[in-house]
Structure 1
Amino acid sequence: MSRRVRGVSVCIVRLMRVDGREIPVTGKLLQPMIRRTSDIVRVVLAVIGVAVVVAGSLITRPEWLALERSVANIVGFLSQDQATMVYLIYGMLILALPFAIFIELVVRRQWKLLFGYGAAGLLAVLALSITGAGISTPKWHLPVPDRFDTFLSQFLDDPRWIAMLAAMLTVSSPWLPVRPRRWMWFLLLMFAPIHLVVSSVVPARAMLGLAVGWLVGAVIVWVVGTPALEVPLDAAVRVLAERGHIVRAFRVDRPAGRGPLLLATEVDGPEDEIMVELYGKNQRSFGAIRQVWRWITFRSSETAPLHGSMHRAVEHRALLGIAIGDLGMADSHQVAVAGLNRGWMLYARTRPRGTQIASLSAQVLPGVWRSLLRLHENQISLGDLQPDFVRVSQGDTLFGGFAAAEFGAAEAQRQTDIAQLLVTTTSLYGKHEAVSAAIEALGEDRVAYAARRLTKSAMSIGIRKSVPQWTKVMATAREEVRRQTGHDRIQSQQITRFSRNQIIQLVLLVALVYVAYPFFSQVPTFFSQLRTLNWWWALAGLAVSGLTYVGAAAALGACADGLVKMRYLLVEQLANTFVATTTPAGVGGLALSVRFLQKAGMTTLRATAAVAMQQSMQVITHLVLLVVFSVVAGTSTNLAHFVPDATVLYLIAGVGVGLIGAFMFVPTLRRWVNHSVRPQVKEVLGELADLAKDPKRFVVIIAGCGAITLGQALALWTSVEAFGGGTDFVAVTIVTMIGGSLASAAPTPGGVGAVEAALIGGLAAFGVPAEIAVPAVLLYRVLTCWIPVGLGWPVMGWLDKKDMI
């Protein structure tokens, strides 16, 4: 227990009585809710169960009902009297189940649990009683009707009764003996086969009641807790006493969380104080999830074999401590490893000896690296070399931790050790001293090879938490290794099964298939119209489409002050089409351009400003051309087809005013504008001012942006002409600029679906027949979107391989 007095946390010591002795325990033993992994997993599984039952009831309910009737006809071999007898026996048992649980809790004196028991049943019934008309009360008639089985069916067929039983049993299960708990769950789950045997279809609502009850009970267990949260300190005291360490007091040094409960323990014996680590079911479940996650995401050479249980994991750590201790390089030795009741594991060791290297000078670095090399020569890797786990005692380097250590380590794991120690020592002593000591002990080639593992995946969670600004330190160490070894570039090694770029490309490919589906559905109609296609006009449209990429590359190159060669800009624009089409509003294309300019040598701010300037000039050029062509078209051009309804305009204006107000009055948004947006806008305005002083560069940007807009319009016009024509170039240009711009605001990636609908509608408004407008728009999209997208996928891979994005 603890309380606060004038802002200071005061620990209250509680006494624990074990075998006639009172042992003080200082600190909080209870694990917080966010760290109860086992309970959280149970809640997640219960949510998934409810979702599956609801989805199955809504989507495939007729099929399930038919299947249940078929199964019931097959297994329903009992006569009517026999079925009634089975139903009566089971009904009486299931009706008595909640009272049996209640009696069991009273006999075991679980008074606090009775509140959770009642709350679970009440909430489960309430959850299934809420309807659109309010709360529907259960209609359970206590007077016995003419037939007793009819009375029982009121409960057995009501999902609220099943939900109440499931919730109560879930809450009380952790506190019940194993055998009664198993029989109670067996009895509850037997309602499905019992219904089938007596030739009665299992109602879907009963399965819903079971799922909802389990969810309610799982949530209450998570909030209230289970017996597994009660730390068996009395058993730990007896285990240590058997090994000659009489416990006098416990002090909580670290509450149970991501790691074990760490207790500083005063003892009478060979040591004055030892460290006791206690692992509960939550550590076991979290460790299992973490192991499975690493097995899925990391390559097989990067991960150790999976541990079958918490006992095996703790035992492995203790054995590695013994092996490293035999080499004289362990900062502590093992006292005890034992399994306790309620699923807990005990691991006791002496206090670490020696001084942490963070308190020592850089003179200890050569010895640290030589000690690591000696471990590697004995095929031992540590896997977690955070600063707290490296100590020096009388000139000898000692290591601690061992939770991630491996015996018979592969070369990949040894290289990871070197990379981790580079980060640790660089953060403590600076890049020059750390890298120089590593090269002196290991040699240039080995250090340069290990520096490829200076990546996030190779750094343990402990290093990321204990090393300030570890990403910056890691980049500094890699650059210093490159400088001292004379390498031009150190390529990061892929440790995970899939790199970040591969995952992004996979997501983009899935998005591409999704957004292309509407187009695929119209392909048969499109191919049926190809017999009337003029292929010369189609080739002209393809050539015009290619010119838009030349214009975009020229504009971006001019905005970037000509720092990138034109051929590379053309290639980047082709990859840009693929990314922009597979991401909503084309944001992926903007990000790719910024990344491309960064790799070309521009700073992040400068690259962002260049892309922003190009987009700004594109918008300005687009609007100017729209006004010009609208004037040229004259009064015959009816723009009402493209102007949204007045209600939509008012709604857009209201949203805009609301956003402006939010950015003015919300401090967080206002700071974001001042510190993030304002510098970039200022940079863009400065670039525009400089641009006005450079006519040649200004003309190139305007010409490039104009080529994009006019090229797209010309491509659509040639597509219309390819199927017979029907309108002039000016009208098609207005359709392209207005219809395409409005549709580009659609949330679909690349505007797929919205662009086609807007262009077909725009052409129809100017009198183009549907039999020409539909295939013309599809041809236009093939020329300007899908062919470049198909080429952009491999081009993007080539840019990634060349480290240009």
Structure 2
Amino acid sequence: MRVDGRDIPVTGSLLQPLIRRTTDIVRVVLAALWLTVVIAASVITRPEWLALERSVSDIVGFLTPDQSNLVYLIYGVAILILPFAILIELVIGRQWKLLAGYAAAGLLAVLLLSITGTGLSAPKWHLQVPERLDTFLSQFLDDPRWIAMLAAVLTVSSPWLPTRPRRWLWFLLLAFAPIHLVVSTVVPARAMFGLAVGWLVGAIIVWVVGTPALEVPLDAAVRVLARRGHTVNALTVVRPTGPGSLTLAATVDGPERELTVELYGKNQRSSGALRTLWRLLTFRRGETAALHGSMHRAVEHRALMTIAADDLGLAAQTAATVAALDRGWFLYAHSAPRGTPLAEHPDSVLPAVWTALDLLHSGQISHGDLRPAEIRIENGDTLFAGFASAEFGPSDTQIQSDIAQLLVTTTAVFGKETAVRAAIDALGEQAILLASRRLTKTAMPSGIRKSVADWGSVVSRAREEIRKQTGQDKIEADQITRFSRNQLIQLVLLIGLVYVAYPFISAVPTFFTQLKTANWWWALLGLGVSALTYIGAAAALWACASGLVSFTNLVIMQIANTFAATTTPARVGGLALSVRFLQKAGLGAVRATAAVALQQAVQIITHLSLLLLFSIVAGTSADLSHFVPDAMVIYLAVGLTVGIIGTFMFVPKLRTWLNTSLRPQLQEVLSELAQLARDPKRFTIIIAGCAAITLGQAGALWASIEAFGGGTNFVTVTIVTMIGGTLASAAPTPGGVGAVEAALIGGLAAFGVPATIAVPSVLLYRVLTCWLPVFCGWFTMRWMTARDMI
């Protein structure tokens, strides 16, 4: 490179890669919105749109017919040669790789607008020259495929075209609408649709492929450094340009013998704006650094923080210059980092490292990105590099974040015991305990995650070692996001509740009309009987847990369990909530899971035994065809089951999971069942509790039927409840909504209960056993969460 008569050798590639800018994403969104507006204006509000066009045309339509034809002719010729002009520009600029994107954009736009209900429709362009040239040109101007092709190729080519030709070409294409208003009083809707489709196609291709960054103004950077007293003799590319900066090592004559030159282009931080917006939406205010209005301000802030740290004697580098360059580039030059990385030193330097961090915080500076490479040792002194995420006047949150980052870094380099012991000796247990709450995957910045190998396990080891050395039973993680995991789970459950409640809400008017004829004493009896199911479930789980938990709290948990089970498919939420409650009550994870699994196993055995018993007692020839699935469904279920079993048997990872995770649980359940056989009292409590669940549900349905006039006996209702509930439990809907109602109504019909009684009875039963408990369960679950019971 020759600058001001001097030859400066440049080693390394300055080739700009294709990157995805924020503007590329915004362009796709805007193109999709514009296409939506065009479709809405053409289909929904076309009459009003035509009236508006005529009103505008009355104002601008001042040309005579001959003048209109002349304008149309000139514009038609220009728009006809537009794609060839773009092609020539690309050839002159030697953009050979772009020709594939150019062709793909044009062909794709034409193909999309050629699709009809009967297949592909070829363009109907009569290339033989007619008597009037303007008529010939109108074949292209009014064809949406031509306009779409022009918009697509121009969108794809724009980033590579010079500024002035690009602006003129876009002006020529967008002049399509006003030209038609002046000449023909209306803008063809199909042509506007083609323009929108072409823009969207081109925007998507640019977004997928990427756009080039700007040409590097290296000569301007050399001149700026020379004015600051640093004469550049040679440049070496250290890190090619990309999402970060273009970094070069410069050999100079001046106060420093070597400088690190960082160049930032307009497009170097392609997703910076979206990433910042995401952090603002998801992280709490104290977790998000102050926004910078531009990259100029961001780099300037970094340089100023380096100067402030250098005044404290803690900066590993000295800021040389900060300057804006041509074509939107920005320069930041600083001295090469002094000292050697932390990983090259023994653990004896740890006290000095923690002392240096404490001095940095005392100087009202937080670093924000304490990667191993950013911590350097020179003659026993600790220095810090980077400062891209540093803040002046840090909050307590930012100081604790620095401590947590340094804990992770030193743990990765020196091991957990040495790192944690040095931190506690330097800052004390209380400061380390507060910072350890931020030892979570979410709290770690991206720099730590990229630079520390297996950083997730390092974070876990550091937190566990702090707990061990401080004697704490548990370290609660600090919430750094606006929404905690529990809040997100509750939001999902609420959405599921709204989803499953919609079919019921739609039937509310008719149901309330039928309620006028109900006997409310029977309804109250059904509500009381359904309440017994919670006591039975609590008793069964209490006995399965060997009486190690509070029975009263178990009853309360069963109410919350109704909400969690109803709003999740297959009632998995209820099972997870039960396990969580037992863990919070002091049981280990394996023991809590085994207790819940034992209850479910006994529940299934009791359910099937009661079904067999009541079927024998019923002794009826009722039509049970409503309960028998179609043969194809049975074949599919059997085939799916065999396929799942075969997959788990032949896939090594799944087979390993069965042996390591599921097998211990099954062994625990089987051993518990064996112990139950030798403990009659506990066995009786579990059986009675599980039976109370099934019989209580049957009793609630029977009372609901009696509230509307009756028509069947308790034995029949019990069979319907057990068979219908079993079939509906396989339904994918949360709480079995829809499937439960259909199965119970069909079962009652099979036993001769009229639909006028069966339908309102089942709806009342669902209100008593599902919707009222779900409403109460939501508040109960929040109450238990606030008291750390789940």
TM-score (ref. length: structure 2): 0.89
Whether contact under 8 Å (1:248, 1:268) holds in the other structure is no
Aligned to 2:143: 158
Counterpart-to-counterpart distance in 2, 1:60 and 1:538: 55
Contact kept, 8 Å, 2:748 with 2:758, in 1: the verdict is: yes
CA contact (8 A) 1:23 1:249 kept: yes
Change (3 A) 1:480 1:284: same
Name the SS of the counterpart of 1:352 in structure 2: coil
Q: Are the aligned partners of 1:227 and 1:342 in contact in 2 as well (CA < 8 Å)? A: no
1:523 CA drift (Å): 1.1
The letter for the 2-side match of 1:791 is: C
Distance 1:195 1:759 in 2: 66
Q: In the comparison of the two structures, how many residue pairs are matched?
A: 783
- Distance between the aligned counterparts of 1:82 and 1:591, measured in 2? 79
Asked if 1:38 is matched to 2:21, the reply is: yes
Superposed counterparts of 1:331-410, under 5 Å: 331-340=316-325, 343-410=328-395
Corresponding residue SS for 1:750: helix
Verify: 1:65 aligned to 2:46, yes or no.
Answer: yes
**Change in CA separation of 1:603 and 1:307 when aligned onto 2, cut-off 3 Å:** same
From 686, 702, 726, the counterpart of 1:741: 726
Of 742, 745, 748, the residue aligned with 1:763 is: 748
Assess, with a 3 A threshold, how the Cα gap between structure 1 residues 257 and 631 changes in structure 2: closer, same or farther.
Answer: farther
Task: Give the 5 Å matches for 1:682-721.
Answer: 682-721=667-706
The TM-score with structure 1 as length reference comes to: 0.88
Aligned to 2:312: 327
Q: Distance in 2 between matches of 1:555 and 1:75?
A: 78
2:606 counterpart (621, 642, 646)? 621
CA distance in 2, matches of 1:769, 1:583: 32
Deviation, structure 1 residue 72: 2.3
Partner of 1:423: 408
Distance in 2 of aligned mates of 1:674 and 1:341: 64
1:246 aligns with 2:232: yes
- 1:75 aligned to 23, 47, 56, which one? 56
- 3-state DSSP of counterpart to 1:392: strand
CA contact (8 A) 1:37 1:283 kept: no
- The answer to whether the Cα contact below 8 Å between 2:493 and 2:568 also exists between their aligned partners in 1 is yes
For the 8 Å contact 2:35–2:197, the answer to whether it is kept is: no
The offset of 1:371, in angstroms, is: 2.0
Report which stretch shifted further, 265-274 or 570-579.
265-274
1:52 deviation in Å?
A: 7.5
CA distance in 1, matches of 2:685, 2:612: 21
Match of 2:511 in 1: 526
Q: CA deviation at 1:324?
A: 0.7
Q: Which amino acid aligns with 1:329?
A: L
2:497 to 489, 512, 515: 512
Structure 2 CA distance for partners of 1:803 and 1:356, relative to 1, 3 Å:
farther
Q: Distance in 1 between the 2:48 and 2:653 partners?
A: 57
Q: Which amino acid aligns with 2:21?
A: S
Deviation of the 1:256 alpha carbon? 4.9
Q: What SS does the aligned partner of 1:459 have?
A: coil
CA distance in 2, matches of 1:669, 1:158: 57
Relative distance call for 1:670 and 1:218 in structure 2 (3 A) is: farther
1:228 CA drift (Å):
0.9
Secondary structure of 2:126's partner?
coil
SS of 1:335's partner is strand
Mean CA deviation greater in 581-590 or 194-203: 194-203
3-state SS of 1:462 partner:
helix
- 1:532-611 to 2 correspondences below 5 Å: 532-611=517-596
Change (3 A) 1:472 1:575: farther
Amino acid at match of 1:250: T
For the Cα contact (< 8 Å) 1:68–1:201, is it kept in 2?
no
Given that 1:240 and 1:247 are in contact with CA atoms closer than 8 Å, whether structure 2 keeps it comes out as no
Q: Give the counterpart letter for 1:155 in structure 2.
A: F
Cα distance in 2, alignment partners of residues 672 and 283 from structure 1: 44
CA 1:744–1:186: 2 relative to 1, 3 Å: farther
Q: Which moved more, 1:224-233 or 1:716-725?
A: 224-233
Residue 98 of structure 2 is aligned to residue 117 of structure 1: no
Question: 1:649 pairs with 634, 651, 655, which one?
Answer: 634
Which secondary structure state, in structure 2, belongs to the residue aligned with residue 641 of structure 1?
A: coil
Question: How far off is 1:174 after superposition?
Answer: 0.7
What residue number does 1:774 align with? 759
The change in CA–CA distance for 1:47 and 1:638 in structure 2 (over 3 A counts) is farther
What is the DSSP-based 3-state SS (H/G/I as helix, E as strand, rest coil) of the residue aligned with 1:640? coil
- Please say if residues 431 and 477 of structure 1, whose CA atoms lie closer than 8 Å, have aligned partners that are also in contact: yes
Query: Identity, % of aligned pairs?
Result: 66
Q: Which residue of 2 is the match for residue 7 of structure 1? A: none
CA RMSD of aligned residues (A): 3.3
1:200 has 2:175 as partner = no
**In structure 2, what is the equivalent of residue 315 of structure 1?**
300
Residue 291 (structure 2) pairs with residue 291 (structure 1)? no
Measured after TM superposition, the shift of residue 547 of structure 1 is 1.6
Structure 1: tracts of 5 or more residues without a match? 1-15
Change (3 A) 1:656 1:398: same
Question: What's the offset of the Cα at 1:367?
Answer: 2.5
Deviates more, 1:426-435 or 1:712-721: 426-435
- CA deviation vs aligned residue, 1:37-69 (integer Å, no higher than 9, x gap): 317x62585278448846984x88642324423
1:630 aligns with 2:611: no
Give the aligned partner of residue 157 of structure 2: 172
Alignment of 1:450-461 (within 5 A): 450-461=435-446
Q: 1:455/1:719 Cα in 2 relative to 1: closer, same or farther (>3 Å)?
A: same
Segments of structure 2 that go 5 or more residues without pairing to the other structure are none
- 1:488 and 1:685, CA in 2 relative to 1: closer, same or farther beyond 3 A? closer
Using the TM superposition, name which of 214-223 and 734-743 deviates more: 214-223
Moved more, 131-140 or 285-294: 131-140
| Structure 1 residue 327, shift from structure 2 partner | 0.9
Question: Aligned partner of 2:156: which letter?
Answer: V
CA distance in 1 between partners of 2:11 and 2:209 (Å): 23
**Whole-angstrom CA distance in 2 between matches of 1:622 and 1:463:** 54
Matches of 1:274 and 1:236 in 2, distance apart? 12
Letter in 2 for 1:643: V
Distance 1:423 1:113, change over 3 A: closer
- Code of the residue aligned with 2:9 in structure 1: it is I
Counterpart of 2:771 in structure 1: which amino acid? W
SS in 2 for 1:391: strand
Check 1:543–1:147 CA distance in 2 against 1; reply closer, same or farther (3 A cut): farther
CA deviation after TM superposition for structure 1 residue 565, in Å: 1.7
158-167 vs 467-476, which moves further:
467-476
